[in-house]
């Protein structure tokens, strides 16, 4: 069962058997250390703290592997993004990889209709 709640220690004697059958038929994702280090370093350089950089990097690496896209091609594309665009992209990536029980979002200041149409009264 997928959840957004933190994991807990399971002292059940059948925990390893349950884990085996829960992941049966799923191929483990493995990444070269250079790709992991470069992806984490990229997000740290953009102002993410250690934990956030690791989570976003792992999610991005996983999605790149599923899509068959080289991670360095993705990093070359998003290096041009400003902080707002990068935050929006990261939010979308994380939302696509979360369970449907919750989503991430941003608070946006509403814009007056007059200013939205460049009409200044």
Count of CA atoms in the C-beta half-sphere (13 A) of 8? 6
* pLDDT tens track for 75-113: 999 988 888 888 888 888 878 877 777 777 767 677 666
Q: How confident is the model at residue 42 (pLDDT cuts 50, 70, 90)?
A: very high
Whole-angstrom Cα distance, residue 55 to residue 16?
A: 25
Domain boundaries, the chain: 30-96
Give dist(CA 14, CA 61) in Å, integer. 31
Mean pLDDT of the chain: 80
34 — pLDDT class (breaks 50, 70, 90)? very high
The reported pTM is 0.64
Provide CB contacts within 8 A for 104, sequence distance 6+. Answer: 91, 94, 95, 98
pLDDT value for 111: 65
């Amino acid at each position: 069962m997928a959840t957004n709640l933190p994991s807990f220690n399971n002292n059940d004697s059948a925990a390893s058997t349950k884990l085996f059958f829960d992941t049966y038929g799923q191929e483990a994702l493995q990444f070269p250390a250079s790709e992991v280090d470069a992806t984490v370093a990229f997000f740290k350089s953009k102002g993410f703290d250690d934990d956030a950089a690791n989570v976003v990097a792992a999610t991005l690496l996983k999605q790149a592997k599923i899509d068959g896209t080289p991670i360095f091609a993705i990093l070359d594309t998003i290096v041009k993004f400003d902080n707002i665009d990068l935050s929006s992209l990261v939010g979308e990536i994380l939302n696509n990889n979360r369970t449907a029980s919750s989503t991430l979002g941003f608070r946006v200041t509403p814009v007056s209709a007059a200013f939205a149409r460049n009409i200044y009264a």
